[in-house]
Amino acid sequence: MTEQLDPSRRSLLKFLSSAPLLPLAGGSATAALLAACGGGDTAAPAPQLMSVSFSGMAAPSLADAPKMATTTVASAMQALYSDGKTMPYNLAYQTFFITGAQVPNGSGGTTLAGGYWDINNKPILDKTDANSRQFFSDAPDGTSLLKLASTTVSGIKGNAVFAVVQFEYTTRNVKGDSVYGMLPSPIAVLTLDQDKTTGALTLVKYHNVDTSPANGLWITCGASRSPWNTHLSSEEYEPDATVIGTNTQFANFSLNLYGDAAKANPYHYGHLPEITVNPDGTGSCKKHYCLGRISHELVQVMPDERTTLMGDDATNGGLFMFVADKAKDLSSGTLYVAKWNQKTTDNGGSATLSWIKLGSATSAEIKALADQLKAADIMDVKTADPSDASYTKIAFNGKFNWIKIVPGKEKAAAFLETHRYAAFKGGSMGFTKMEGTTVNAKDKIAYSAIAAIGSAMTNGSGGISIKGPSAGAVYALNMKAGQVDDSGAAINSEWVPVDMAAVPALLSEDLKTADALGNLANPDKVANPDNIKFSEKLRTLFIGEDSGTHVNNFLWAYNVDTKALTRILSTPSGAESTGLHAVDDINGFAYIMSNFQHAGDWEAALHGKVQATLDPLIRANYRDRYGAAVGYLTGFPALSF
């Protein structure tokens, strides 16, 4: 039943009105207060949380256009406790800031949220603006929420909590020209003051992390928190070193980072950065070079603290796995690529998986190779058939290459030309837009999001040939111990994926013709899944959508036990749902972090019916489309008096 409270407890409800999504039962101050709300002996043990369920919201429409032009939450959650009572929560969205705002720097001054900095930590200025304003991002992405054993940040009244937020890119300069990928990606540490009673978070310090020790960062997309409490970042769409001399995007990146269009080295990008938060609210950055140079997205380290499963947001991408030599240390280990042994073609397809060893290395030795080698030192690459049997034909980025490895450079090829070398070794390089990865540890199931099932995943070019749907799906991968690689050698991990199949409830549905609003995929089903995170305590997989087929993109909750799928949030039209992080327990509170990026990024075929109405609203809400939100979902008891 739903608990009813008497009027004498109104003040307590007001006190709880800003409580986070789920104050965990059994030990938190809020749980005790909720138990007290039920009446009876206040000294009795707090009831335990048994399960949660979500009540969804309708997709916003032009009937209430303002809701399509902002982050809209009209969903709820019901928490069932061991005493048989159900506590309903209305959900809401709380921002820390809109990028482009001046936020506290922790020293009595302010700094620009989402601002860009060069290799010397000097502001990068948009000189197309009459005032040469500092660039700031409209694309916040990967976020990790964490706490430390002790902190030294001043101004904290409750508990100090930290959020690491990375900014993938900025869409355009003030003039309106695209600057995608032309600026080094910033990462910030947010020091947040957590109210000890309600769990509400308040920003008290924003610190831009110095990324110069890692040669700056390239297009940081999804992220995850490691089991050892660090932020695992990403660098996607690694620049092709074989044609770097004609890559104007990379030249502009180098110019903005170093002040020299020719100084940046392409082999320094496409790796896995790791951010460590310090007690004073600053952060340090290092880059791991031994997890493969691929289009890193959202990686997942398994509970063994050694096995890392990696998505690859590419055309002709692969499913990669890294097994570290030591727990909590990604500086050395062995890299593998999966082979998709297809079983079915319909409904996203399915396969068993086997694993091909690409090589073992330390980060230091691959960094040394990256520092000194050029592409031609590693392999000879042809883009047309040389009619020479000594070359191997491979699928690469939607086309074909013919490659020949330079003798003795196999290790360099494995870790610096990973896409090409994985194809050369027989890996299934046919995945498209493989985005987030997460794990359900209890059931030993990994989940991987395919944001779009493109031609390379249907035409067999990379060893995969399925029928779609084009708007993607979330796949489940069962993991087991006792697996071997292609040579028959044991894989030293108990968390090796052995099969892969789309989750039926998380399969998109393409529409033959756009609906009345313009959606190209069924808006009541997941489409273009991107960020995904699993909550062990809630038994819920959270899924954020990328833009492409829904007029508004959504954040969904999928209960893996009941199979119920619920829409819980809608981003502004044209925006992508990013920054997803499901946190089961920080000082007794649970959180769902959620950002969005590039609001009002209009596509004629998708947004033609709404753009004229929504564009002025989004411009008014988000700094003329240059701003985007960083924040989290909150909840408060929805009780009657």
pLDDT digits (tens, 9 = 90+) for 27-79: 343 443 344 344 444 556 767 778 889 999 999 999 999 999 999 999 999 88
Determine the Cα–Cα distance for residues 36 and 217; give it in Å rounded to an integer: 50
End-to-end CA distance of the chain: 15
Please state, rounded to an integer, the average pLDDT across all residues of the chain: 92
Residues 24 and 46: beta-carbon distance below 8 Å: no
Q: What percent of the chain has pLDDT over 70?
A: 92
Question: 6 or 574, which is more confident?
Answer: 574
Q: How far apart are CA 324 and CA 301, in angstroms?
A: 10
Q: If pLDDT is split at 50, 70 and 90, which confidence band does 397 have?
A: very high
Cβ(295)–Cβ(286) below 8 Å = no
CA distance 320 to 620: 43
Q: Which residues contact 199 (CB under 8 A, 6 or more apart)?
A: 19, 20, 23, 30, 587, 588, 589, 591
Tell me the three state secondary structure of residue 617: helix
Q: How confident is the model at residue 635 (pLDDT cuts 50, 70, 90)?
A: confident
* pLDDT, position 590: 86
pLDDT digit string (tens) for 223-259?
999 999 999 999 999 999 999 999 999 999 999 999 9
Read off the pLDDT of residues 213-224 as tens digits, 9 standing for 90 and up: 999 999 999 999
Over residues 459-478, the mean pLDDT reads 97
Q: How many helices (H) and strands (E) does the chain have?
A: 10, 34
Give the pLDDT of residue 27: 35
pLDDT tens by residue, 427-446? 999 999 999 999 999 999 99
pLDDT of residue 79: 84
Per residue in 487-502, pLDDT (tens digit) is: 999 999 999 999 999 9
Q: Picking from 58-62, 163-167, 184-188, 543-547, which range would have the lowest pLDDT averaged per residue?
A: 543-547
Statement: residue 269 has pLDDT above 80: yes
- What was the pLDDT predicted at 638? 53
Q: What is the mean pLDDT of residues 612-625?
A: 98
Q: Over the stretch 528-579, which tens digit does the pLDDT of each residue have?
A: 999 999 999 899 999 999 979 999 999 999 999 999 999 999 999 999 999 9
Tell me the per-residue pLDDT of 96-123, one tens digit each, with 9 for 90 and over.
Answer: 999 999 999 999 999 999 999 999 999 9
Q: Tokens standing for 25? A: 């039962």
